[in-house]
Amino acid sequence: MDQAHNNVVGVFLLPPLSVSPIRSIQSECTRFGTVDQFHELKVKLCFVSWPLLRWTIDYRFHPKEYGLPFIQPSKEKNASFTQGANFAVAAAPAFPVEFFEKNGFVSYQLLRSSLDYQLAWFEEKKTSLCNTTAECIQYFGKSLFIFGEFGVNDYTLLLLAGKSVQDVTNSYAPQVVKLISEAVEKVINDGASILAVAGQPPAGCMPVILTLFASSNKEDYEPDTGCLKEYNGLAMYHNSLLHQDVIRLRGKYPRVKISYTDYYYPTINVVKSPGLYGFIDTPLQVCCGKGGPYNFNISENCGMPGVSACPNPSAYLHWDGAHLTEAAYRYISSTWLDGPYADPPLKKLHN
């Protein structure tokens, strides 16, 4: 598992400051395993003060300032989930984990934490939030569901198993997007009426991908970014399919407001013109890492003995090789809230 991109994919439930609960289903990347590490570093774009239309990335670090507690892990014992629940688990794929095991794509047993398991956990938690179908529809109709960048783990596991980028793009990406769309449709049928569905970041710009799949052929890299072309192409294809499905679901459920939120282009903006956004001139360098052309070593990850963080993480795009920094997420969140990288911008979902 050390070589897999440990992307945390999770379901979050988050209410606003006053009455209506906000539910979000989000995926994200993390190599941090403890609840405290996750809370302090990786509760990304579920920071909502819905009645005031006030969203902020800083909720990750200062939730009390916004009248919100940290999101409770879904497996926390004796916890109240009226203020939110976090179903995220490291390395969770969209495909059922059994798919990878039965097809020999992994030689070890994966955690039972794929999208189907997380949706099942969500079903279990529903009984503590609402009792009847009508009550759940009313409850979830006042909530925001955010689906994050599901699929990153799927593609990485397949690529590490020897599948070509072309095969993953043509054969597996449509299946992953279908699973995401089915999950979105499921929560709509549960009563969700306000949703945001996130695409994928440019995988070819991630130091972990640049390291695992490094090429001696300069033609494999984008000349203006230094990122791997094929892997970015996979992410773009995934995003195109997902955006199309979001548009399809809007037509099928006209009462529902769904935003497609884009990780790819705001991240590429920084890679191409880092100084314009306040980042260092080598945007593919990792803040917390050790060695290699990107300050990233697959065998010596951030958090391990002897691996240190840079003194100025706010100047870096990449935190640990698989995740962005707080400053990067702050910029991305602004493009989601006000545009132009959300269709429609998230603030408009409440109008």
Tokens 């409440």 -> residue: 350
Residues present in the chain in total = 351
List b or e across 23-33, with b for residues whose CB sees 16 or more CB atoms inside 10 angstroms: bbbbbbbbbbe
Q: Is the pTM of this model over 0.85?
A: no
Residue 128's pLDDT is what? Answer: 80
Residue 262's pLDDT is what? Answer: 96
Residue 70's pLDDT is what? Answer: 64
Give a yes or no: residue 308 inside a domain. no
Give a yes or no: residue 310 inside a domain. no
Give a yes or no: residue 154 inside a domain. yes
Query: What residues make up the domain containing 93?
Result: 7-204+228-267+326-350
Residue 90's pLDDT is what? Answer: 67
Distance CA 323, CA 291 (A): 17
Residue 84's pLDDT is what? Answer: 67
Give a yes or no: residue 195 inside a domain. yes
Distance CA 283, CA 113 (A): 32
Give a yes or no: residue 279 inside a domain. no
List the beta strands (DSSP E) in 19-171: 23-29, 48-49, 54-55, 72-73, 85-86, 144-147
Could you give the dihedral angle defined by the CA atoms of residues 333, 9, 176 and 129, in that order, rounded to the nearest 10 degrees?
-90
Give a yes or no: residue 289 inside a domain. no
What value does the CA radius of gyration of the chain take, rounded to a whole number of Å? Answer: 19
* Residue 349: strand, helix, or coil: helix
Could you give the dihedral angle defined by the CA atoms of residues 282, 287, 291 and 296, in that order, rounded to the nearest 10 degrees?
-90
Give a yes or no: residue 63 inside a domain. yes
Give a yes or no: residue 222 inside a domain. no
Q: In this structure, are residues 47 and 23 in contact, taking their beta carbons and an 8 Å threshold?
A: no
* Positions in the chain short of pLDDT 50: 1-67
Each residue of 201-229: pLDDT tens digit? 999 999 999 999 999 999 999 999 999 99
Q: What is the DSSP string of 228-278?
A: BHHHHHHHHHHHHHHHHHHHHHHHH-TT-EEEEE-SHHHHHHHHH-GGGGT
Each residue of 134-151: pLDDT tens digit? 888 888 887 777 787 889
Please tell me the total count of domains within the chain.
1
